[in-house]
Amino acid sequence: MHPMAARAFLNMQLSPSERERLRDFEKSLPRGRYLQGYEVCRMLNLRPKSVPDIDTSAMESLWTHYAKTQLNVGRTFEDEHSDIEPRTKQQEVHAWEDWSLQNFQGPALVEPSLP
């Protein structure tokens, strides 16, 4: 699974207050640094839920679409306008998470089954 797809699925598991807490913490990190999925899980005491293959494929397709139509367009604009401060990777990740929450149809997250 693409790391940005995984991050979006983790983001979907968060409550608004957890999301705010995570973003506030990430803003205190060095410019551009953001937490990896396992770090988010550790910080918020989460256990990743299993995601059906069809949802994984759908999220990865959504990420590809977002990268082409939003992310790359924004980066090109920033490159062409030197008076604009480029977004950090952290800001790009947060924008992707917000966009994926609004545009992903699903998900069908499944609680892990206990033996």
How many C-beta atoms lie closer than 10 Å to residue 88's C-beta? 16
Q: Indicate the SS3 state at residue 85.
A: coil
**Domains of the chain: which residue ranges?**
3-103
Confidence band, pLDDT 50/70/90 cuts, at residue 23: very high
Taking the C-alpha atoms of residue 47 and residue 42, their distance in angstroms, rounded to an integer, is 9
pTM: 0.79
Nearest to 23 by CA among 85, 101, 98: 98
pLDDT at 108 over 60: no
User: For the chain, what percent of residues have pLDDT higher than 70?
Assistant: 91
Say if residues 11 and 100 touch (Cβ distance below 8 Å): yes
Lowest-pLDDT range, 3-12, 46-55, 73-82? 73-82
